[in-house]
Structure 1
Amino acid sequence: MNQMNEAKMVVGSDEWCAFPSLNIPAIKAKVDSGAKTSSLHAVNIQSFPRNGEQWVSFDVHPLQDNRKTKVHCEAQIIDQRFIKSSNGDKEKRHVIRVPISLGEKSWSVEVTLTDRDSMGYRMLLGREAMTGRILVDPEGQCLLGERSQDVLAELYKSPDIRTGGLKIGLLASNPDLYSNRRIIEAAEARGHEIQFLNIKNCYMKLDATTPEIHYRGGRVLNDLDAVIPRIRPSMTFYACTLLRQFESLGIYCLNTSIAISQSRDKLRSLQLLLDNGLDIPTTGFANSPLDTGDLIDMVGGAPLIIKLLEGTQGKGVVLAETRKAADSVINAFKSLNANILVQEFIKEASGKDLRCFVIDGRVVASIQRVAAPGEFRANIHQGGHAELVKITPDEKRIAIKAAKAMDLRVAGVDIIRSNKGPLLLEVNSSPGLQGIETATNEDIASRMIMAIEKQLLHKK
């Protein structure tokens, strides 16, 4: 037994390894004997035939919290398997077999491909790859050698930045949000200069001859080529006044002030959707609590959904399961002078809805959002999860038409499947990227930048 152990390599809980055939010279792996299968971070995964065999192309961001560094890879597919993740979700993944280098040793391992951007490591080394070769010291880290930032910079030399890039402003509130980080990374990777603009730190000069927008400290922003608005609901009014000023200066806004304003008014947005021949769940709106009874009957009685007009990300949405509960909740909101919508409850949806991401009149990705156990509404912000889904041609048509009706160039269109067919729930003007990028492996952020390029680069 001792002789066998001496022949094995001792590693820590994480180690640097390499995949020479994939041109990945260094990637830090979590060494996990509790996991059966090894997995590698991969995005933009596409299968294709080659010489009668199935291959897969994919991009790897090998360094954690760094999406600027990207390696394009290709490998033969040896299998497809359903893998259960640590949070219990099942995902169908491509499996490849490639040589791995760890310390001074190399051997072939099976690796599944999945987006690990939200995980602590871009690589997980499972026990199948370790059997007969490795002993794990869980108290150790990088026992086979560390990689300094200088070494990593040399291994992954930055690609040449293209000239003639655009000057883009990202108008938002929190630079650390996943969506905002991804947009900045995507713009820089495509050779553009992008700056984060905190909405609160922007102010404007209204003047007939020299109108301006300033940023804290007095920096003038009139030289921007484009603005990407990512506006939280509480900042809608002020942000839209800023966007109107950018628009008056001839600066391209990926979503306009008018489109954002009307998308944030839930009642107005539903009226616009109906005006464009799009179906929604039966909805009622009233001001006086004296009309509560008829309002409930109007949408088919209980159970029903009650929504605050100003709510977002599932906040301010209540399921009233009985008529008495509905009457109490509606009157409670009315006593607070809150504006609400009352909407029929689509029981057959079973806590699921679709999110279609539309850019420039095309559905670039779609997911199904599934409610957390015990919840009635699909919401990944409140414990739900997202999964891949194939939408129908009719659902795709509805999503595109909804974005066009709201005049949004970028939109998250929410659809629910009912016995009456697909129904529109909402059109979001600042849809989040994390859930849909993670579930689909699509680079949505780059597609947003490409939409700006399509509009402006030919004018440069």
Structure 2
Amino acid sequence: MKDLKVIGSEEWCVFEHLGVPAIKARVDSGAKTSSIQATNLKVISKGTQEWVRFEVNPLQENRSIAIQCEARLIDRRMVKSSSGISEERLVVKTPVTVGEDTFDVELTLANRDTMEFRMLLGREALNERFIVNPAVSYAAGDFSNAEIDLKYAPFKKEKTGLKIGLLASNPNLYSNMRIMEAAEARGHEIQFLNVELAYMKLDANSPEIRYRGGTILSDFDAVIPRIKPSVTFYGCALIRQFTNLGAYCQNSAEAITQSRDKLFASQLFSKNDIHIPITGFAKSPMDTKDLIKMVNGAPLIIKLLESTQGKGVVLAETNKAAESVINAFKSVNTNILVQEFIKEANGQDIRCFVVNGKVVASMQRQAQKGEFRANIHQGGRASIIKITAEEKKLAVKAAKILNLAVAGVDIIRSNKGPLLLEVNSSPGLEGIENATGKDIANEMIVAIEKKLKFSI
């Protein structure tokens, strides 16, 4: 015991053989095996051995630096994540340096984007080497910010790419941060633009968009709109202005407006032979009883036309309850849709993420116990799923009808086949990236490059 060195609850690790100059690790004696953040995994052969080629983003909240690594594959193991989900992980073995000590360590390759640290140092690496003092950090040696910047300077790409604007409201949202990271990782200059801090000059000779303080926003090659529902009208006006100034907007103002109008969108889907749950709409309370009957009676769904992320959606379990809710909404001049309830779905739906006419990822969402609708914003669970060719075709067609280059398409499985629930023009990335391990933000940036015929 006297010969064991003391390390803290967090330590810097160096992987010389992998080419990773420094990565912060959470020291966790409760975990048996160590783990490192890894994406784009590919098993390759070297002679008679299997190796793994993968990418490591060693700095937290910074995907602009990606290091290509290779290591020998020694095992495939079922590992239970912190969320309780078991999955198969590839295991590699490679030397690691902690302070002055270098030794071989087994690492499971995992997507740790949602974790505080990009690496976890488990007890197999600690045994007979270290004692952990959880009250201290970096006892084996610390690096300053300047030292880290110097170590990673060779990996930073020169910005010689496109000039992109991210038009949204909150720069700290996971989706917005990921898009910024993905653009920077591909060498582009990207600027966050708060919808409500931008204003326009409408003039035939010199139209402009200005930002708080008078800065003129000009020379954008592309704009990625992520407009929250409460600012749809103004956000779409800005998108039209950017289009007039020559910028490519990934989703047009017209497409966003159509997707936000659930009644109009439903009419477009019906017109184009896309199957949706039977839906009713009426103005007068005098038609409530027949409206309920038209969608096969209770239980049924009552949905605000402007609802988003599952808010403003109500399940009425009896005809009497449905009448009360519908008439209450109508009494305050609130527009609603009434929709049949698909009981056999069992609180599950499918989110397909469509980019430029292709489903790049899909996940299944399961409602939490006691809820009728799957919603990861309200405690629902997400998991990866393989969708059918029919479901893929439905998702692509729905996005195309609304003319959305980027869309989150929600589908429900019924006894009649897949039904379209709705299409989101600003779909979130967090749930689907974590469930599938796919870099969807990168897909969005690559789609812009293809549209503008830009090559790195």
Q: So what's the TM-score if we normalise by structure 1?
A: 0.94
- Paired with 2:19 and 2:324, the residues of 1 have a C-alpha distance of 63
Relative to structure 1, the CA distance from residue 352 to residue 163 in structure 2 (aligned partners, 3 Å threshold; closer, same or farther) is: same
Confirm whether residue 98 of structure 1 aligns to residue 94 of structure 2. Answer: yes
The one of 145, 149, 156 aligned to 2:152 = 156
Confirm whether residue 122 of structure 1 aligns to residue 95 of structure 2. Answer: no
Confirm whether residue 320 of structure 1 aligns to residue 330 of structure 2. Answer: no
Using the TM superposition, give the Cα deviation of residue 52 of structure 1 relative to its aligned residue in structure 2, in angstroms. Answer: 5.6
Paired residue type of 1:347: K
Relative to structure 1, the CA distance from residue 159 to residue 125 in structure 2 (aligned partners, 3 Å threshold; closer, same or farther) is: closer
Q: Secondary structure of the equivalent of 2:90?
A: strand
Paired residue type of 1:240: C
Confirm whether residue 84 of structure 1 aligns to residue 80 of structure 2. Answer: yes
Cα RMSD (Å) of the superposition? 2.0
Equivalent residue for 2:369? 373
Confirm whether residue 282 of structure 1 aligns to residue 272 of structure 2. Answer: no
Q: Secondary structure of the equivalent of 1:153?
A: helix
Equivalent residue for 1:453? 449
Q: Secondary structure of the equivalent of 2:176?
A: helix
- Paired with 1:233 and 1:87, the residues of 2 have a C-alpha distance of 31
Using the TM superposition, give the Cα deviation of residue 222 of structure 1 relative to its aligned residue in structure 2, in angstroms. Answer: 3.4
The one of 185, 191, 195 aligned to 1:189 = 185
Confirm whether residue 227 of structure 1 aligns to residue 205 of structure 2. Answer: no
Confirm whether residue 407 of structure 1 aligns to residue 403 of structure 2. Answer: yes
- Paired with 1:310 and 1:416, the residues of 2 have a C-alpha distance of 20
Using the TM superposition, give the Cα deviation of residue 361 of structure 1 relative to its aligned residue in structure 2, in angstroms. Answer: 1.0
Mean Cα deviation higher: 151-160 or 377-386: 151-160
Q: Secondary structure of the equivalent of 1:157?
A: helix
Paired residue type of 2:431: G
Question: Where does 1:183-262 land on structure 2 (aligned, <5 Å)?
Answer: 183-262=179-258
Q: Secondary structure of the equivalent of 1:184?
A: helix
Q: Secondary structure of the equivalent of 1:65?
A: coil
- Paired with 2:451 and 2:421, the residues of 1 have a C-alpha distance of 30
Confirm whether residue 172 of structure 1 aligns to residue 168 of structure 2. Answer: yes
Question: Where does 1:5-44 land on structure 2 (aligned, <5 Å)?
Answer: 5-44=1-40
Using the TM superposition, give the Cα deviation of residue 221 of structure 1 relative to its aligned residue in structure 2, in angstroms. Answer: 2.0
- Paired with 1:99 and 1:289, the residues of 2 have a C-alpha distance of 73
Using the TM superposition, give the Cα deviation of residue 118 of structure 1 relative to its aligned residue in structure 2, in angstroms. Answer: 1.6
- Paired with 2:289 and 2:356, the residues of 1 have a C-alpha distance of 43
Equivalent residue for 1:420? 416
Q: Secondary structure of the equivalent of 1:22?
A: coil
Unaligned segments of structure 2, at least 5 residues: none
Preserved contact between residue 309 and residue 341 of structure 1 (Cα < 8 Å): yes
Preserved contact between residue 57 and residue 75 of structure 1 (Cα < 8 Å): yes
- Paired with 1:75 and 1:197, the residues of 2 have a C-alpha distance of 41
Using the TM superposition, give the Cα deviation of residue 381 of structure 1 relative to its aligned residue in structure 2, in angstroms. Answer: 0.6
Confirm whether residue 146 of structure 1 aligns to residue 142 of structure 2. Answer: yes
Q: Secondary structure of the equivalent of 2:353?
A: strand
- Paired with 2:217 and 2:55, the residues of 1 have a C-alpha distance of 35
The one-character-per-residue Cα deviations of 1:203-252 (angstroms, maximum 9, x if unpaired) are 11111222222112222223211111010000100011111112222221
Preserved contact between residue 45 and residue 441 of structure 1 (Cα < 8 Å): no
The one of 341, 344, 360 aligned to 2:356 = 360
Q: Secondary structure of the equivalent of 2:452?
A: helix
Relative to structure 1, the CA distance from residue 344 to residue 70 in structure 2 (aligned partners, 3 Å threshold; closer, same or farther) is: same
Preserved contact between residue 69 and residue 158 of structure 1 (Cα < 8 Å): no
- Paired with 1:41 and 1:160, the residues of 2 have a C-alpha distance of 19
Using the TM superposition, give the Cα deviation of residue 36 of structure 1 relative to its aligned residue in structure 2, in angstroms. Answer: 2.7
Mean Cα deviation higher: 127-136 or 365-374: 127-136
- Paired with 2:350 and 2:212, the residues of 1 have a C-alpha distance of 40
Task: Tell me the matched-pair count.
Answer: 456
The one-character-per-residue Cα deviations of 1:248-273 (angstroms, maximum 9, x if unpaired) are 22221110000000001111111112
Confirm whether residue 292 of structure 1 aligns to residue 284 of structure 2. Answer: no
Preserved contact between residue 362 and residue 386 of structure 2 (Cα < 8 Å): yes
Using the TM superposition, give the Cα deviation of residue 366 of structure 1 relative to its aligned residue in structure 2, in angstroms. Answer: 1.3
Q: Secondary structure of the equivalent of 2:83?
A: coil
Preserved contact between residue 365 and residue 375 of structure 2 (Cα < 8 Å): yes
- Paired with 2:160 and 2:135, the residues of 1 have a C-alpha distance of 50
Preserved contact between residue 43 and residue 58 of structure 1 (Cα < 8 Å): yes
The one-character-per-residue Cα deviations of 1:346-372 (angstroms, maximum 9, x if unpaired) are 222222211111111111111112222
Using the TM superposition, give the Cα deviation of residue 54 of structure 1 relative to its aligned residue in structure 2, in angstroms. Answer: 4.4
- Paired with 1:435 and 1:47, the residues of 2 have a C-alpha distance of 26
The one of 328, 337, 360 aligned to 1:341 = 337
Using the TM superposition, give the Cα deviation of residue 105 of structure 1 relative to its aligned residue in structure 2, in angstroms. Answer: 2.1
Confirm whether residue 132 of structure 1 aligns to residue 128 of structure 2. Answer: yes
The one of 341, 346, 350 aligned to 2:346 = 350
Preserved contact between residue 42 and residue 61 of structure 1 (Cα < 8 Å): yes
Paired residue type of 1:256: S
Relative to structure 1, the CA distance from residue 7 to residue 86 in structure 2 (aligned partners, 3 Å threshold; closer, same or farther) is: same
Using the TM superposition, give the Cα deviation of residue 459 of structure 1 relative to its aligned residue in structure 2, in angstroms. Answer: 11
Preserved contact between residue 449 and residue 455 of structure 2 (Cα < 8 Å): no
Q: So what's the TM-score if we normalise by structure 2?
A: 0.95
- Paired with 1:335 and 1:81, the residues of 2 have a C-alpha distance of 59
The one-character-per-residue Cα deviations of 1:356-402 (angstroms, maximum 9, x if unpaired) are 11111111111112222222211111111221111112211111111
Preserved contact between residue 162 and residue 190 of structure 1 (Cα < 8 Å): no
Q: Percent identity?
A: 62
Relative to structure 1, the CA distance from residue 287 to residue 182 in structure 2 (aligned partners, 3 Å threshold; closer, same or farther) is: same
Mean Cα deviation higher: 77-86 or 317-326: 77-86
